[in-house]
Amino acid sequence: MTEVKSPEVPAPPAAVPDELTPGDGRLHRIRPFLPLAVLAVALILPYSTLHLPGIFEGALNSPGTLQLLAVCLVFGGLAAGYDLLFGRTGMLSFGHALYFAAGVYGTDILITRAGLPLWQAAPLAIVGGAILAGLLGAVALRTVGIAFAMVTLAFAQVGAILVARDFGGLTGGEEGLPLDVTGLPDALVGVTNTVNLYWLALAYLVVVVFVVHRVSGSPTGRVLAGLRDDERRIGVLGLDPYRFKLVAFTLAGGLAAAGGAVYCLIVGGASPHITSSELTLSLLVMVVLGGPGTRWGPVLGGILYMYLDHRLVSFGSSDAVDALPAFLSRPLSQPLFVLGTVFILAVYFFPGGLASLAPRLSLLRNSLRLPTRRER
């Protein structure tokens, strides 16, 4: 008997998941190009004469606005470098400001005291900051957890004391050390050249983001992520956790020292406040505010925090705040109070930081999306 074959039934079309709506598909295609678009806007921003009242005091191309943006960009890169320790490796360091200060004071001392040109002083300060991070990290990484945080804090406090007491007559003590501009290129001196400092800060941010992303995507970065999740498992695999953590600690210290060199040029000198532990705590707030361990969260957190830190001073002394009742005007006139309130609300409502806003908004949009004809 011949076997009768049953007719083949065509498979039903695959269901399109809710999250793959046409709008999401377009966003997914253009998402890789968004950083390039933002970079292009940042590059041409100094050519804009646009006024944004309430956001900036002058036009976008005014020296004051460009200097504020340059400081924000530096701290965006500094937060991204600190996230290499905290968010991607799981190391809570309370002494990261020490290596930033090494870049600031190292560059300033080598130019002002030693008379070196910038192209020699800046690389020496950066290398010195990385070496300092390697040496201190070799000691601090013998401990873990809270003990590690306390050891890094102790090192940072020693550095702050040496700076405040004008060690060797080099740091200027509590008065700080103004930068001798005669050792700088003419393109970086003067109010009219603030745009060049802005571009220098933007270049620093791009370099830090590139380095952090390349490290995170490399085999070393996967080991660092494993150390953050379960350090014992890395040891079982035959890898040395201490060696990988020391690499991350040294690299983060070198990136912080590079940011210090750029910051020294932007503000025109060095002051003792950059050696305080409060700066490291601010970096921690920046990373948590943006989203630790994410691609762009620490950068956004650092930029937003520094912008608010500068602008809230003007906001607190404005006529609008003075006109409020005393129980409102007094706390609103304190920038730290407003920053603390913003941070508490952000952590409460967005535990993942600013980086979690896009997924949350996408879920909200999909939940409110009207059903399609097929779904009806």
Percent of the chain with pLDDT over 90: 58
Q: How confident is the model at residue 301 (pLDDT cuts 50, 70, 90)?
A: very high
pTM, two decimals, is 0.87
Closest CA to 334 of 312, 318, 319: 312
pLDDT above 60 (res 232): yes
- How much is the average pLDDT of 34-49? 89
Classify residue 112 by burial, with Cβ atoms within 10 Å: 0-12, 13-18, 19+: buried
pLDDT digits over 149-166, tens only?
999 999 999 999 999 999
- How much is the average pLDDT of 49-74? 90
pLDDT above 70 (res 14): no
Q: Where are the domains of the chain?
A: 60-276
pLDDT above 70 (res 363): no
pLDDT above 90 (res 30): no
pLDDT above 60 (res 225): yes
The SS3 call for residue 51 is strand
How many residues in the chain? 376
pLDDT above 80 (res 61): yes
Q: How confident is the model at residue 7 (pLDDT cuts 50, 70, 90)?
A: very low
Higher-confidence position of 62 and 17 = 62
Output the pLDDT for position 269: 93
Output the pLDDT for position 9: 42
- From the CB of residue 50, how many other CB atoms can be counted at a distance below 10 Å? 9
Output the pLDDT for position 4: 46
Q: Which residues contact 312 (CB under 8 A, 6 or more apart)?
A: 335, 338, 339
Higher-confidence position of 22 and 215 = 215
Output the pLDDT for position 311: 85
Angle at 177 between CA 174 and CA 183, to 5 degrees: 175
Is the Cα dihedral 87, 88, 92, 96 positive or negative? negative
pLDDT above 90 (res 100): yes
Closest CA to 284 of 301, 271, 300: 301
Output the pLDDT for position 51: 87
- How much is the average pLDDT of 266-288? 91
Q: Following CA atoms 13, 19, 21, 25 in sequence, which dihedral angle do they give, to the nearest 10 degrees? A: -110
